Every structure is written in C-alpha cells, then in structure tokens.
A and B are shown apart, each in its own frame.
Chain A
Amino acid sequence: MDLDTIAEIVTRPDASSLSEWRDGDGWLGGGTWLFSEPQLDLVRLIDLDGFGWTPLELTGDALRVAATCKLRELHAFPRPDDWTAGALIDQCCDALLGSFKIWNMATVGGNLCLSLPAGPMTALAAALGGTCVIWAPDGTGRRVAAADFVTGDRRNVLTRGELLRSIELPLAGLRSRSAFRQASLTPGGRSAALLIGLKAPDGGFALTVTAATVRPVRLVFETLPESGALGAAIERAIPDTLYHDDIHGHPDWRRRLTFHLAEEIRRELAS
C-alpha cells in the first residue's frame, strides 16, 4: 500500500546514513512487510539495496548471505553436492507464508529483522548455527549468533540505527544431515511450529524450535538423545510462557506440535 507519510527515499546510502540516523528513519529491505501496513512513524526510508552488497559469497568456511539477498537468490544458489543440509534452504523458503512472488522481493535479512516467531529465514540461520553481522551507527560492528538475534515476537537485538549487514551460514552446518518439520493451521499457512534437527558428521545433534516459541530455542546435544531425554530437554528449555500465542495457533497446540515434531525429527535422524 502507499506509505503516504514517507517524504524521502535515500537510494544511495553510505556510512553517514548510519551515523546520521534520525527518528522517523527506516531501513528498506524488500519492502514486502514495510509496504503491507501503514507506517505512520516513518518519514524517510533508506534503501539498503543502494549499498550494492553482493547477495551471496562463499568464504572459507561459510556462505555469507547479504541482508539484502532476496529469497529467490538464496533459493537459486547452486549448492555443492556435500551440502547435505541444503534442502533446508528450499524447505525454509517454502515455509514463508508469502509465495514465490514474494521471494522475488523479500530479503533474507528483512525476514530476520521483522522478527516474527514464524520467520523461516530466522529458523534457517539459527538451525545452521549461523552468525549475524551487525553494523552500528558509530562505524563499529558486532557479531551475534543467529539463534540469539530474535529475542521475542517482533523483537530483536538491534538497537537504534543499527543494521543487519549479513548472515554467515557455516558450511559445517550445511554439511550435516537435516530433518525439517513444519505445521500450520492451514496447508501452506503461517508456521505454527517450525523445527529443524541437524546431525553433524561427528554425531552431534542440534534441535532448533521456532514459530512455536516467541524466539528460537536451540538445543544442543553431544549425540542424538533418546526420546525421553529429548522431551525432558524441551520441557526444561521451553517454559509455557515461551510458546507463542496469536491467531495462527493456540500456545497449547504449539506445545503439542513441538513435542510431536521433535520426536519425528529425532526418529528420522536416528535411522
């Protein structure tokens, strides 16, 4: 929709866009959420596309995904054969409520920064043990584990004027075995629970719970646990208050899904 409070678009941002951040500024990623609701507090949008970041780069041990990388670009990235967990990219893109047309516009970083519990890019980054690279207004940067980036429903670690520069997905994670489960109230609907299991070549297991909870919960085990131990670990890690409550699923149901899908993942990776 038209955002008629917006008076200016900064299409060629630079370092000063960070240092001279002011009230009423907003970072523009793909725009797919920003333009979906009135934004009465915003008067200026700073177009992250203007930084010209390379969408995807392979570093020595990670896939560096620029915050402005579109879901389509991530989805289409040619994957080496040894990325046994590469299917997670498809599965997480598909878990987005929006269709492939939204993939043409929405960005990976935007999905994390929107910080919905159901954000599938949050789930992907957290499950793979990714790291978020953050730029601060004073020119410094910091790194935050992707699993810690989202702190609650529509809340994250970014402070005023900070921006998410990139997400680094470790190749070790992509070279693990993965199991993915997602459930929603409607086929293809917004995730009410999105769980990912990752079993590393050394036997280590990580279960990442998203969507069911207001923020990601990543449980790490040295080896694949037994059913009871996994359930107990979930019970300890996720108090009832952490289960999300909104139109897309009652918290009791999300809790049920979490245990059910976690056990399915455990069994899949045990085989």
Chain B
Amino acid sequence: MTFHVNGEDFHETPRPGQCLRTFLRGLGWFGVKKGCDAGDCGACTVQVDGRPVHSCVYPAFRADDREVTTIEGFARGDALSPVQERFVAAQGFQCGFCTPGMIATVAALSPEQLDDLPRALKGNLCRCTGYRSIADAVRGVRNVAAPAAGRGAGADAPAPASRRIVTGAEPYTFDVDMPGLLHLKLLRSPHAHARIVSIDVAAAMAVPGVRLVLTHEDAPETLFSTGLHELDADDPPDTRVLDDVARFVGQRVAAVVAETEAAAELGCRLLRVDYDVLPAVFAPLEAMRPGAPLLHDDPAKTGAARPERNVCAEVHGAVGDPDAGFAAADVVHEGVYETHRVQHAHLETHGSIAWIDERGRLNLRTGSQTPFLTRRRLATVFGMDVADVRVMCARLGGGFGGKQEMLTEDVAALAALKLGRPVKLEFTREEQFTGATTRHPMRVGVKLGATLDGRLTAIAIDVVSNTGAYGNHGPGVLFHGCNESVALYRCANKRVDGVAVYTNTVPAGAFRGYGLSQTSFAIESAMDELARRLGIDPFEMRRINMIRSDDALVAFDDEPHDVEIGSYGLDQCLDLVEAALARRDGEPRLPPDWLIGEGVAIAMLDTVPPRGHFSHAEARLSADGGYELAVGTAEFGSGSTTVHGQFAASALGTTPDRIRIVQSDTDASGYDTGAFGSTGTMIAGKACFDAANALRERILIVAAALLNAPLASCALTAEGVVAGNASVSLAEIAGQSPLSAAGEANGSLRSVAFNVQAFRVAVHRVTGAIRILRSVHAADAGTVINPMQCRGQIEGGVAQAVGAALYEHVDVGPGGAVETKSLRAYHIPAFADAPRTEVMFAETCDAIGPMGAKSMSESPFNPVAAALANAVHDATGERFRTLPLAADRIFARVAARNGQGSRCSEKSPPSGTAPA
C-alpha cells in the first residue's frame, strides 16, 4: 500500500485492525493526538482527501492511495496557514492538546459551518478554554499583544509554545520515538474487594513478544501514597505498586510488558487470577458503621485516622461558642448538600515512559504536574537515592489536579528496572475513568444561624468525604474544603466536623478547587436559602457577612497561620457582578414555558497551599547573549510559562520572546514542589522574578566594569547595557563569563484571591432543560500579569464547573464498577454547552505576591455550582441540594411546582432529586 501523507509517500501496510491514528503516529506524525480513541473528542482529526475525519475510528487501510494531511502538513515551510496564524493571534488554546485536531477541522469548514460553530465543532472537545478563545481564533480576533521591552507584566503576551502547538511540533509526553520501546498493559480487578490467591502467568508469558509479567510478588513491599505533596506525611501510605488485595474495581492486579501493545493486551487477557472475593462497602456512612468491611486494617499501615471505622482522616474544630450562636439566632437554616464524582477529563491521558540511561539512572518522561515530588516518591518506593532518578515532563495535555498523582510512573519504572529496556505505559480513555482518580464526592450538612437583619450568628458544617479505596489527597482535600469556604464569612461562632472515609470505589484525588468546590456548593447554597428566608437580597446577604479587608481569616481554630489578606477586592467583585447581571443585552426572548431566575455565589482561595511550597529558579545569560530561565515547575496549559517569561522580561528590560525557558526536568533546575495549588504565578513566578532581578544586578556589575562607568549610571536594555553614550552588548558581557543568578520562593506568607459568579438561567417548566442566559464572573487576582491568559483561566474554569454542575457524573454501579467509561457517556462541555462568560477584574495590588499578583487558576471553578443552583431555585421555586442539575433529575419537581404535571401521570422523582 502507498499512503500520501503531507506530500510524502509511505510504502507501508497497516495491521488489519489498525486505525489511521496509530498508523500515522507510527510514521512519525506525532501531531495526531489521542484524546478519547473513540471518535468523540476530535484531537486526532486529520484530513483525508481534504475531508476532516477522526483518525482514531478511521480504518487505516482505507487511506491507501489517498492524500492525508495531518497538522504537520498545514504550514508551508516557516509560513503558517491562515488558520494556524489565527489560533496564535487569538491564543485559541491553553494546553494545546486539542489544537491540532481543532485546526484540521476548522480549516475545512464551509462558510455556513463557520456561522454555526456550536454545530460545526461538536466533534472537537477542549477541556481548558471554555471555547471563547477558539471562537475568536475561528473569527480572526487578535488577542495577543507583543509587550515592549521591559514591559512584560500586564501584557497579553502569547504562550512561548504557540507556534509549536499550532504546527503539531510541540512534543507532549508520548510524542517521542524511542528505539526498543516496550509496552506495558495492566490487568485490572473485576472485584471491588478481593484477596488475590494466585496468578497463573504461563499463558501470558507464552504470547509471542511478551517479555515480562509483574504481579504483587514482584512489587516492593513499600507502602506509599499516589498523592504527592511537599510533605510526604500529608497522604497516608496505603498503596503498593501491585498489591495482593484489590480494593476497587479497576485496581491494578498485574502488568504485562511486551514488544507491542497488542501482545501486552493479549497477555493480560490470558492471565488466570484466582480471587478470594471479600465483602465490599461503597457508601461512606455505611463504611463507618461497626462491622463494615475494613479496607486498610493492616496494623503496619499508618496514617489513617481511624482504620477500624474506615476513617482515613478527620477534622474537628470550633471557634467561639457555636451553640450560643445558634441560640441567639432569629432564624436557623439547616440543609444537607451532596456533590458527586466528576473526572478531570484532561485530553491527554495519564502515562509515562521509563528507561535506564547509560549511567544506570532511572529516567522517567511522564505526564505529571510534580516532577520533583515524583522523583522523590519513586526513590522511596524503590529504595534509591534521588540522585539516581531523573524525572522530566513535557508540556502536559491538561492536568486539573489529576496529575498531582503517581499513577503510572511506579509500575513503568519497575518494569524498566527489571528489563533494562524502555517501557511505556499509556492509559486508555477507559482507564482514565476506571483506574485514575475523581473529585471527592461529599455530603455536607450546613447549619447557619442569623438575626433578622441578616447577620450570621453561627456557622456549622459537617462533611463526609468519600476518598474511595485509597487515601491519596483524602486528608488534604477535607481540610482545605473546610477552610476558605468557612473563613470567607465573618462570624464569631463556627464549628467544623469532617471525615474522609475509605470505600471500595475508585479513589478520589486532587481536583481543581481541592475540596472547595464541594463545600462552596453547600455553604453558598445555604447562604442563598437563608437570605431568601430573611427576605434579604443574596448580594446584600454577602455584603453583610463576608470578610472585610481588615478581618482575621478564621475557619475552625485559633491557631496562628501564615495567611493574610494581602489585597482585598471581594467588594469590587460583588459590585461588578451585580452591575453586569443587571444588563440584559443580547439575551433571547423566550416563550412562557421558560422560567427565568438569577443566582450568585462567592468564593475565596488561599493563593498558595499550606505548609511549604518551594521553587528555585535560575536565570542565565548565555555566551551568545541570550537569556535562559530554568524553573522546575510543569506547564499544563494554565500559561504559567508565559508569565514566567513576562516576569523575567520585566526584570531584564527585554521582551519575553528573548527568554528561553527550560522547565520541569529534575536535572535542569533547582527543586520545585510542583504545579499545583495555583502556584504557577505565586511561587515559581516569584522565583523566576527574583532570579531575573538578581541576574540583572550581575549583568550591570559586569557591564559597569567593562564600560568603566559608575554602576548607578548603567541601564539594562534589550540589547545590552548603556551608560551615557557608551554601551556594551549582552554577548560582550556574557563573553567575559556566562552569568547566572538564582531566585527562590518558599510559599510562606500567603494571601487570598476572590471570585464571584452569577448566572441568569432559564429553566423549561416541562422538560427541566436549563439554559444559561448570562454568565458573569469577577475575580480579584491582584495585579493581573497576563489579562488574556487570566481571562482564559476563568472562562475555562467556569465552563468546566458548568459541566460538573449540569452534565458530568461518574457513575458507580451496584457492584462498585465505574459505568461511565468514555467521553460519550461522560459528557464534558462541547462548544454548544459552554456559556460565554463575561469576565471582570477587581483593581487591587497584592502586598505579598510577585509584582502584586495573586493566583487565579483553580478558584473560578468553585462558586459556579452554587450560583447555578441558586439561579434554578430563583427561576423555579425548587431547591436542588444534590448535583448534578441534569434535566432528567430536576424535571419532575420543576413541573410539579410550575403547573405542568397534567399531561401524564406524576411519578416519583428519580433517585438523586429528592429534597435532602
């Protein structure tokens, strides 16, 4: 067969059942991405004879003698195609993983299709942007503005990787051709709880190409957590690389390593496992009862709070006198609010490649937000020195917290250590749902007391968090969830009780918001209910009770802490949102079957996680006069790399495009805790800024000597240093000796960022369908270093949260198995589903963050669900305390209250919609 790809001929024959996606990647066209591998997401889109197709469901043999164009075939030499140019100009991407398929699709749209993007782009999913910037790209809107030298901060600078992203040249984790690469596939448990009696590997080992089978007998005894934090003790060590007990359906049981994925998969199917099936428990409240099956009762395991009751972690605390506060209240509101399992659904699946280098060191190329923490955890698991482990990350195809976890590196490393050959483990989309992590489902009881004038007299919350079969992030998410959501309100009397409970379900883990989206849904819904009972406007209710700039931040104890209000823009945010919500321009007029309502919610987030978050950056002036910035943190699409370049350019009086950034490689920079907790600007950014400022001083000192001029008369420009009429170029300065300087940040002394979200929605009184008529969001991010990117973070966060509130749910069946295992079953927002959110910024300048900046990547997610539920209540009169607000779950109550129950007999509402 002959395949014509991007103008080249390939005389190759695909395997009979091979799809075009893997065939093209095998030919070296790595711009063709795998998102879903099932025809849903469009990341693999290529054109065949000019027509766009999903190459993952296109039989490869059918492309014989056809013209195939991948993303690599759109540019002509250095000249980008018009569509590529537009995606750069609009920055129509964040992580960029969907971009090759997006461009291959957009380039083929007819004029009619360009006028109907919700329909034309329904086969292209983007998890990052919320689609506004993609619409801009399609329509030719220019959002980038190249900053002037030394004016990097505050400019809409483009991502340094832009050109590589739109040409398919950016190498993501799996976009490498590694000779001799072996493939690892995992056999996963069909039982929610079972002891493995024996594993017969003979038939698997007999498969041609199979090189190794790993079972619990091959795995280190070391217990660890897949969750990664600066402090190892933050997560209970309860996991093995391969365990002899399976605690959820989908847990790894064995690994097969083979020359091909097909052989490894066949090997997995031929493993014969004898299980001793054990009783299982799926609901946290049942798991805490005496006599419930215990998941981690091994006394050798430490870290769990009360393993005899399946309690992984608990929090209890109070300030003031809550009982007296409730007694003093004129009105007390109580409600129980439930949030469900949702999945990160980053388009790039988890995976890593492990190999042993010529020096005998273990190397990992992995899709991780935390290369340094992963290195340390691998060293612990395998009893190695950290110096003998190198972990590097390419640009990540999305993270959202899901990659603050060691889900693939350990078993790939074990195989590489055993075989001495490179080994790749790449999750399938199904494994993302069955074998990765989710948000922690939570049941949150809220009790609020207030006087008739709306002042809170007491707040109490009681949280039950389901951490699943393992405790990764269980304690952290619980504590964090109970913190800022409660500290947000000034009230003398507060009580918090919470437990994170083990169950035989897929483990929960770090997820954007880190517990706060769940508790915010509860508390912000409850505040709305209380306001309505008191007859107080929901905006006014917040103004009465929210913390002010001079308030102490108190959640559930009086312990000293290192958080302060470095800048306060919550009041501005509330005003901005209220004013924007009052406008109705551009909204459709709807027939009377649509019920209209409005809702608001507010949120606060510490700008840095607690107990230390470190970054060490190094800024260098190379011998050729170019700048290099080395920083350990990873880039998963939030644009932190852009910001790092802007900080450095500001300090060095140059433009960001002149700064080469080396990142996320444990060999290439100083230690960095990782890209989580919204620290890209606050921690790594501060380290970069400090390093660049220190380098500037060194350059000036060297230049002053060269020019024989007083230091104070020397000024650094983009080209070199000038002193009066004399000047010396950067290359000349570097010619003396390459210069470098270090900067660091330790994450102590932290500030808070604020977000306010409001919606106007229409709810159909018969079908329960929800339409978002207006979405407005104001953020207090301090000095906004890159307004274009920050807006994108907010739009994307709101869109992801809308998905979680309205559409997305990971369902676990009666036997504990995840039932939603594809993007077809787990619907993340497509172009048509994501609202266009109006984004506004408070004008503040933070006393703590670098150049006055604050964090803004997780937090926009947090107030969204409550704002929606409050708007739905306003529209329909029905209060929904359980997510998601799916039409088929809410229609019965909406219709019953709003006079549309007559057409067919009323039935009991489906599960999940009963009033709590």
Contact = CB atoms under 8 A, between A and B. Distances in A.
B17 A3 contact: yes
Given A5-B17, A101-B45, A188-B830, A35 B767 contact: no
Contacts of A97: 824
A47 to B, nearest CB: 8
Given A188-B830, A188-B832, A1 B54 contact: no
B833 A187 contact: yes
A11 to B, nearest CB: 7
A245 to B, nearest CB: 10
A102 B907 contact: no
B19 interface: yes
Interface in B112-132: 113, 118-124
A45 B18 CA distance: 12
Contact of B54 (A105, A190, A259, A263): A105
Contact of A101 (B123, B261, B428, B892): B123
A252 B123 contact: no
B58 A105 contact: yes
A11 B38 CA distance: 23
Given A2-B15, A32-B57, A256 B113 contact: no
Given A11-B61, A253-B888, A183 B769 contact: yes
A8 B904 contact: no
Interface residues of A, number: 55
A154 interface: no
B53 A250 contact: no
A263 B903 contact: yes
A193 to B, nearest CB: 9
A217 to B, nearest CB: 15
B39 interface: yes
Contacts of A148: none
Given A1-B37, A186-B833, A102 B891 contact: no
Interface string B301-342: 000000000000000000000000000000000000000000
Contact of A247 (B825, B830, B907): B825
B807 A6 contact: no
Contact of B38 (A9, A37, A260): A37
B17 A2 contact: yes
Interface in B877-914: 886-889, 891-892, 895, 903-904, 907, 909-910
Contacts of B38: 1, 36-37
A101 B110 CA distance: 13
B827 interface: yes
B22 interface: yes
Contacts of A223: none
Contacts of B892: 252-253, 256
A94 interface: yes
B57 A186 contact: no
A24 interface: no
A19 interface: no
Nearest to B45: A101
A100 B123 contact: yes
Residue in A7, A36, A47, A256 whose Cβ sees the most chain B Cβ within 10 Å: A256
Interface string A83-106: 000000000001001111110110
B17 A31 contact: no
Given A4-B265, A105-B53, A256-B767, A98 B17 contact: no
Contacts of B57: 1, 31-36, 105
A186 B827 contact: yes
A192 to B, nearest CB: 7
Given A4-B265, A247-B825, A253-B887, A32 B54 contact: yes
Contacts of B19: 1-3, 35
B105 interface: yes
Contact of A185 (B261, B827, B903): B827
- Interface band, chain B: 35 or more
B59 A247 contact: no
A97 B36 CA distance: 15
A35 B58 contact: yes
Given A2-B17, A4-B17, A100 B113 contact: yes
Interface string A1-43: 1111111110100000000000000001001111111011000
Contact of B903 (A37, A101, A105, A260): A260
A260 B99 CA distance: 40
B16 interface: yes
Residue in A1, A8, A45 whose Cβ sees the most chain B Cβ within 10 Å: A1
A187 B832 contact: yes
Interface string B17-28: 111001000000
B766 interface: yes
Nearest to B264: A4
Contact of A189 (B51, B827, B895): B827
B669 interface: no
Residue in A33, A187, A257 whose Cβ sees the most chain B Cβ within 10 Å: A187
B42 interface: yes
B903 A250 contact: no
Contact of A192 (B48, B265, B766, B888): B888
A249 interface: yes
Contact of B18 (A2, A39, A49): A2
B16 A32 contact: no
A30 to B, nearest CB: 8
B509 interface: no
Interface string B145-165: 000000000000000000000
Contacts of B769: 183
Nearest to B56: A1
B39 A36 contact: yes
A37 B827 CA distance: 17
Nearest to B819: A247
Residue in A186, A235, A254 whose Cβ sees the most chain B Cβ within 10 Å: A186
A231 interface: yes
B515 interface: no
Nearest to A261: B767
Contact of A98 (B22, B39, B825): B39
A255 interface: yes
Contact of A35 (B39, B119, B903): B39
Nearest to A1: B37
A101 B910 contact: no
Contacts of A5: 17
B910 A252 contact: yes
B736 to A, nearest CB: 57
B266 interface: yes
Interface string A227-259: 000010001000000000001011011111101
Given A1-B38, A4-B265, A192-B888, A253 B120 contact: no
A119 to B, nearest CB: 14
A249 B910 CA distance: 11
Contacts of B819: 247
B15 A4 contact: yes
Contacts of A190: 824
A36 B44 CA distance: 13
A260 B40 CA distance: 30
B61 A6 contact: no
30 contacts: A1-B57, A2-B17, A2-B261, A4-B15, A6-B17, A7-B16, A31-B62, A34-B57, A35-B39, A35-B57, A36-B56, A36-B57, A36-B822, A97-B824, A101-B54, A102-B54, A102-B123, A104-B53, A185-B827, A186-B827, A186-B830, A186-B833, A187-B833, A190-B824, A252-B888, A253-B887, A255-B904, A256-B766, A260-B903, A263-B903
Q: Which 4 A-B pairs have CB atoms at the shortest separation, nearest pair first?
A: A99-B123, A6-B17, A3-B17, A4-B262
Given A31-B57, A188-B832, A259-B903, 8 more contacts: A8-B16, A35-B56, A187-B118, A187-B832, A189-B827, A231-B904, A250-B910, A256-B895
Interface of B: 15-19, 22, 37-40, 42, 45, 48, 51-54, 56-59, 61-62, 105, 113, 118-124, 261-262, 265-266, 269, 428, 766-769, 806-807, 811, 819-820, 822, 824-825, 827, 830, 832-833, 886-889, 891-892, 895, 903-904, 907, 909-910
